[in-house]
């Protein structure tokens, strides 16, 4: 029998004998293999016709319903990961009569080396499933052949893999077992290092639809992938980009709802995107978002609109300085970073990511921090505290990214703060000799040759919030009520308006449309404004698309959004002002295909 490297034990079950996994460490996948007996000979293609399930009952009486997957020949495998130490009982069911109702037990044991699964927490952040322990998300695209140790040395906590290349299936119901056994080994190597796998099914929804044309074939594929890989520590990120594929929203919803229903461990679900997956949020299957846009306004505004964690994809092929600035600006937007592309973890950008991780993990309560706007000369995240009629909570720290070296002003609560200047390339610190105390910090970076990060930190106060240091026995996982604002939707109260195109204009898909947003009045809040324009033709069901960023320019309505002839597009202008107030204004335009209308 072939053992999956790193999996604790494989047991073979038949209708005559059962030998369950024994002493499996928690959070370690265990394979229970079944060799189908002669009575199952009518299943010429077990992948397509065998339907086997095991219902696992944990020591704390939680139930996990797990499907089996076909692994070649007559072999079916249940891959299960115990999440508690103690005795598990499991019962088989399905369409193999000789196995129906079979029951057995095994014991799971505690493990000091195990890495728990991750889940969303504290509005925009992450934690492990045990002990309220925070998880710092920093990802990369895994390059097969690169040792996982190389990524671990650079402190990457997530690695993305792909499950459906051209050679993965020779037909809709014919998985290439050799490919998936190799993928098993890659993911087990990632899992064994305590790294989370970001599981991408395919490049686009079209690749999935072409491989599995019927609903039944798609359902079998999704169940197969869940059966084979949900036992690992992972997030689901279905495709790399969805926006240009017709009916992508419908397909992703179908997959997402099936994964939501069948994944016994409820791993986090989303999809990557050329611009943003947040536009699919109303469909009810996602629990975090992924931004592919390089525009800070998109990430910053979506952070204020959504109460889920946010991932920013950053092209690893960017020049070092451009990459570093994208990384730190995405952090100030409130997102966690992923380095994409065929990039070595030992590249300059990989080393920059390692420096980011060192600083964020060792110096910052990253699981508790949010964008902060009372800053001049830089962009900030902070735990600023709250003092009002309902709360009297002290500030903790302020992190300010100074992209262009200049004087920085940060409004703070009046406390004593240690002052650090951080090199964003390496995470190295320069600590000022004297503690600073006041309510408005003003300072300049150590030199004007590069970007810097300013860190104002109440170190002793933070130590009192922990036991044994960062990541060890968190006392206060949520130290303050994260502000979730209600956007202003009243056009009369908004300091801006969309003046071009006019609401009587007919817009033509695929053709440039000039637009402009004007300020109706200037205030202290309008000294900095971010604008994002999105549009959706609700009737055709293709979902929202990003149209433009900024106060003026041109946008083009993607033809994929209009599938049923002339229609109506809902256009939304989202704006974020200097103090962080969010405005949402909605407009309606008639939309036509070329030759059927005019664009102005």
Query: Of 16 and 83, which is predicted with more confidence?
Result: 83
264 in a domain, yes or no? Answer: yes
Flag the least confident range among 14-18, 95-99, 232-236, 240-244. Answer: 14-18
Residue entry with tokens 């910053």: 300
Residue 265 C-alpha from the chain's centroid = 17
What mean pLDDT do residues 124-130 have? 92
Q: Are residues 104 and 199 in the same domain?
A: no
pLDDT tops 50 at residue 599: no
Residue 380 near residue 400 (C-beta atoms within 8 A): yes
pLDDT tops 60 at residue 4: no
Distance CA 128, CA 21 (A): 25
Q: Are residues 220 and 329 in the same domain?
A: yes
Return the closest-CA partner of residue 34 out of 49, 54, 5: 54
482 in a domain, yes or no? Answer: no
Domain that holds residue 230: 118-363
Q: How many residues does the chain have?
A: 600
What is the sign, positive or negative, of the torsion defined by CA atoms of 521, 442, 416, 333?
A: positive
187 in a domain, yes or no? Answer: yes
Name the 3-class secondary structure at 86.
strand
What pLDDT is stored for residue 12 in this prediction? 45
What pLDDT is stored for residue 600 in this prediction? 46
pLDDT tops 60 at residue 18: no
What pLDDT is stored for residue 8 in this prediction? 41
Alpha helices by DSSP H, listed for 404-535, are 459-464
Residue 52 near residue 211 (C-beta atoms within 8 A): no
Q: Are residues 331 and 387 in the same domain?
A: no
**How would you classify the pairing of strands 310-315 and 289-291?**
parallel
What pLDDT is stored for residue 467 in this prediction? 59
Distances (CA, A) of 51 to 72, 260, 352: 15, 19, 48
Residue 385 near residue 394 (C-beta atoms within 8 A): yes
pLDDT tops 90 at residue 68: yes
Instruction: Identify the H or E element spanning 35.
Output: strand 30-35
List phi, psi (to 5°) of 244: -95, 0
What pLDDT is stored for residue 39 in this prediction? 63
Q: Give tens-digit pLDDT for 182-217.
A: 999 999 999 999 999 999 999 999 999 999 999 999
- The model's confidence at residue 85, banded by pLDDT at 50, 70 and 90, is very high
Residues facing residue 569 across a β-bridge: 589
Average pLDDT, the chain: 93
What pLDDT is stored for residue 475 in this prediction? 54
The residue from 298, 331, 363 where one domain ends is 363
Distance CA 381, CA 373 (A): 8
Q: How many domains does the chain have?
A: 4
- The model's confidence at residue 503, banded by pLDDT at 50, 70 and 90, is confident
pLDDT tops 70 at residue 98: yes
Peptide bond into 501 cis (omega under 30): yes
Which CATH number covers residue 148?
3.20.20.80
469 in a domain, yes or no? Answer: no
Q: Are residues 104 and 143 in the same domain?
A: no
What mean pLDDT do residues 62-90 have? 96
Which CATH number covers residue 397?
2.60.40
What pLDDT is stored for residue 5 in this prediction? 40
343 in a domain, yes or no? Answer: yes
What pLDDT is stored for residue 13 in this prediction? 45
The residue from 55, 87, 109 where one domain ends is 109
Claim: this prediction has a pTM higher than 0.85: yes
Q: Are residues 388 and 458 in the same domain?
A: yes
Task: Give percent of the chain above pLDDT 90.
Answer: 87
Q: Are residues 71 and 101 in the same domain?
A: yes
Q: Are residues 320 and 377 in the same domain?
A: no
Distance CA 398, CA 409 (A): 11
Q: Are residues 177 and 302 in the same domain?
A: yes
Q: Are residues 332 and 429 in the same domain?
A: no
Which CATH number covers residue 555?
2.60.40.3880
Q: Are residues 399 and 519 in the same domain?
A: no
Distances (CA, A) of 270 to 35, 284, 311: 35, 11, 10
Instruction: Identify the H or E element spanning 479.
Output: none
Which CATH number covers residue 64?
2.60.40.10
Residue 155 near residue 138 (C-beta atoms within 8 A): yes
What pLDDT is stored for residue 171 in this prediction? 96
Q: Give tens-digit pLDDT for 245-274.
A: 999 999 999 999 999 999 999 999 999 999
Q: Give tens-digit pLDDT for 383-437.
A: 999 988 888 999 999 999 999 989 999 999 999 999 999 999 998 999 999 999 9
Distance CA 46, CA 194 (A): 33
pLDDT tops 90 at residue 21: no
Distance CA 575, CA 561 (A): 23
pLDDT tops 70 at residue 3: no
What mean pLDDT do residues 164-187 have? 96
Distances (CA, A) of 384 to 122, 157, 394, 438, 542: 16, 27, 7, 14, 40
Distances (CA, A) of 163 to 146, 169, 199: 18, 10, 7
Q: Give tens-digit pLDDT for 288-335.
A: 999 999 999 999 999 999 999 999 999 999 999 999 999 999 999 999
433 in a domain, yes or no? Answer: yes
Flag the least confident range among 19-28, 277-286, 369-378. Answer: 19-28
What mean pLDDT do residues 365-374 have? 97
Q: Are residues 26 and 68 in the same domain?
A: yes
Query: Of 12 and 210, which is predicted with more confidence?
Result: 210
What pLDDT is stored for residue 15 in this prediction? 37
473 in a domain, yes or no? Answer: no
Flag the least confident range among 22-26, 170-174, 305-309, 553-557. Answer: 22-26
Distance CA 448, CA 404 (A): 8
- The model's confidence at residue 19, banded by pLDDT at 50, 70 and 90, is low
Return the closest-CA partner of residue 362 out of 354, 371, 352, 350: 354
The residue from 86, 109, 132 where one domain ends is 109
Q: Are residues 348 and 378 in the same domain?
A: no
333 in a domain, yes or no? Answer: yes
DSSP string, 233-276: SEEEE-BS--TTSTTHHHHHHHHHHHHHHH-TT---EE---SSB
């Amino acid at each position: 029998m072939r053992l999956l490297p790193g999996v604790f034990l494989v047991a073979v079950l038949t209708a005559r004998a059962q030998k369950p996994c024994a002493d499996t460490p928690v959070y370690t996948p265990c394979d229970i293999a079944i060799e189908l007996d002669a009575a199952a000979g009518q299943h010429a293609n077990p992948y397509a016709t065998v339907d086997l399930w095991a219902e696992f009952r944990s020591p704390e009486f939680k139930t996990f319903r797990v499907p089996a997957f076909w692994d070649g020949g007559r072999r079916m495998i249940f891959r299960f990961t115990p999440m508690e130490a103690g005795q598990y009982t499991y019962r088989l069911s399905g369409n193999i009569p000789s196995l129906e109702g079979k029951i057995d037990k095994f014991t799971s044991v505690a493990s000091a080396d195990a890495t728990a699964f991750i889940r969303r927490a504290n509005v925009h952040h992450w934690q492990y499933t045990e002990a309220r322990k925070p998880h710092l998300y920093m990802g990369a695209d895994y390059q097969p052949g690169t040792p996982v140790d190389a990524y671990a040395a650079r402190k990457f906590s997530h690695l993305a893999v792909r499950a459906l290349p051209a050679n993965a299936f020779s037909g809709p119901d014919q998985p290439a077992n050799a490919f998936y056994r190799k993928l098993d080994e890659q993911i087990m190597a990632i899992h064994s290092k305590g790294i989370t796998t970001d599981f991408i099914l395919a490049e686009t929804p079209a690749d999935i639809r072409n491989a599995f044309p019927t609903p039944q074939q798609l359902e079998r594929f999704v169940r197969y992938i869940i059966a084979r890989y949900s036992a690992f520590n992972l997030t689901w990120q279905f495709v790399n980009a969805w926006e240009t594929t017709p009916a992508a929203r419908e397909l992703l919803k179908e997959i997402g709802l099936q994964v939501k229903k069948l994944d016994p461990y409820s791993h986090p679900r989303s999809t990557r995107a050329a611009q943003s997956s947040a536009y699919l949020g109303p469909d009810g299957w996602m629990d975090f978002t992924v931004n592919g846009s390089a525009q800070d306004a998109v990430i910053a505004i979506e952070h204020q609109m959504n109460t889920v964690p946010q991932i920013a994809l950053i092209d690893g092929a960017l020049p070092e300085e451009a990459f570093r600035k994208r990384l730190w600006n995405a952090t100030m937007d409130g997102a966690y970073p992923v380095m994409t592309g065929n990039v070595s973890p030992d590249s300059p950008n990989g080393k920059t990511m390692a420096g980011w991780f060192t600083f964020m993990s060792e110096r910052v309560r990253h699981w508790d921090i949010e964008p902060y706007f009372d800053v001049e000369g830089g962009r900030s995240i902070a735990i600023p505290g709250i003092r009002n009629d309902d709360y009297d909570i002290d500030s903790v720290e302020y992190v300010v990214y100074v992209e262009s070296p200049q004087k920085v002003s940060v409004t703070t609560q009046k406390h004593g703060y240690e002052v650090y200047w951080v090199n964003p390339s390496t995470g190295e610190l320069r600590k000022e000799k004297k503690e600073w105390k006041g309510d408005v910090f003003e300072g300049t970076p150590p030199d004007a040759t590069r970007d810097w990060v300013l860190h104002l930190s109440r170190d002793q106060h933070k130590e009192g919030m922990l036991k044994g240091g960062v990541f060890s026995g968190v006392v206060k996982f949520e130290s303050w009520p994260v502000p979730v604002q209600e956007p202003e939707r009243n056009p009369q109260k908004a300091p801006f308006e969309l003046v071009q195109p006019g609401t009587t204009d007919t817009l033509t898909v695929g053709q440039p449309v000039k637009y402009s947003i004007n300020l109706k009045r200037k205030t202290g809040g309008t000294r900095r404004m971010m604008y994002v324009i999105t549009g959706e033709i609700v009737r055709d069901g293709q979902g929202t698309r990003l149209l433009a960023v900024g106060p003026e320019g041109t946008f083009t309505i993607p033809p994929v959004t209009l599938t049923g002839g002339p229609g109506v597009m809902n256009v939304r202008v989202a704006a974020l002002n200097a103090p962080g107030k969010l405005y949402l204004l909605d407009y309606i335009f008639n939309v036509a295909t070329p030759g059927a209308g005019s664009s102005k």
